């Protein structure tokens, strides 16, 4: 019955007329000029960024803090604080390099205690120890001014914790994230 669809459509139009729709980049910059604080939240992690992530295992957009500039029309000098949010351990969904991934009971325990399953699909996330090399890299490319750590309580269940402090790239120690993460080994 098309009349029911038409009625719903026109009701939706009336609802849209009640909204204050603005030109986003002007609105945000006007608020900043007035001294208002603006909080922008990104999705996904730095290592999934199209330019700075573990290519080709990336998303199709910029996930780093500079995405505020390209996505919202905010000039770089307007960004005063960048909070880097990290888990106390690492996780990854899907394929891609993961130097600290745990393939044992410890990884399973991290997944279980941390409830590391996809919210929509329920798919288990890959889990591993914190990768401080990658964390330093993400702080660098994002210009992080403060770090917020989540899920530290998950680690209470473990008597021993580990962290990656350097990679071996072609047999040589490195504190840098290499262009090709597949060349990294952990000892």
Give per-residue pLDDT as tens, 1-56. Answer: 798 899 999 999 999 999 999 999 999 999 999 999 999 998 899 999 999 999 99
Residue 134 CB contacts under 8 Å (≥ 6 apart), including other chains: 47, 90, 99, 164, 177
HSE, CB side, 13 Å, CA atoms: give it for residue 108.
Answer: 3
Measured CA distances, 107 to 45, 63, 86, 104 (Å): 20, 26, 18, 5
Q: Sketch out the chain's domains with CATH numbers.
A: 2-174 (3.90.170)
pTM of this prediction? 0.86
List pLDDT tens digits, range 108-152. 999 999 999 998 999 999 999 999 999 999 999 999 999 999 999
List pLDDT tens digits, range 71-90. 999 999 999 999 999 999 99
């Amino acid at each position: 019955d098309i009349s029911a669809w038409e009625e719903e459509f026109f009701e939706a139009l009336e609802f849209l007329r009640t909204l204050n729709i603005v030109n986003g980049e002007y609105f945000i910059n006007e608020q900043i000029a007035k001294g208002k604080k603006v909080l922008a939240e990104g999705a996904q992690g730095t290592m999934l960024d199209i330019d700075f992530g573990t290519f080709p295992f990336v998303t199709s957009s910029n996930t780093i803090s500079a995405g505020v500039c390209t996505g919202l029309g905010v000039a770089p000098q307007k960004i005063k604080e960048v909070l880097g949010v990290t888990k106390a351990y690492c996780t990854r969904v899907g394929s891609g390099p993961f130097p600290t991934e745990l393939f044992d009971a410890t990884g399973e325990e991290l997944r279980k205690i941390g409830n590391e399953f996809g919210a929509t699909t329920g798919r288990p996330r890959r889990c591993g120890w914190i990768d401080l090399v990658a964390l330093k890299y993400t702080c660098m490319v994002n210009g992080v001014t403060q770090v917020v750590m989540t899920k530290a309580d998950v680690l209470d269940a473990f008597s021993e914790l580990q962290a990656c402090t350097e990679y071996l790239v072609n047999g040589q120690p490195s504190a840098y994230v290499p262009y090709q993460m597949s060349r990294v080994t952990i000892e």
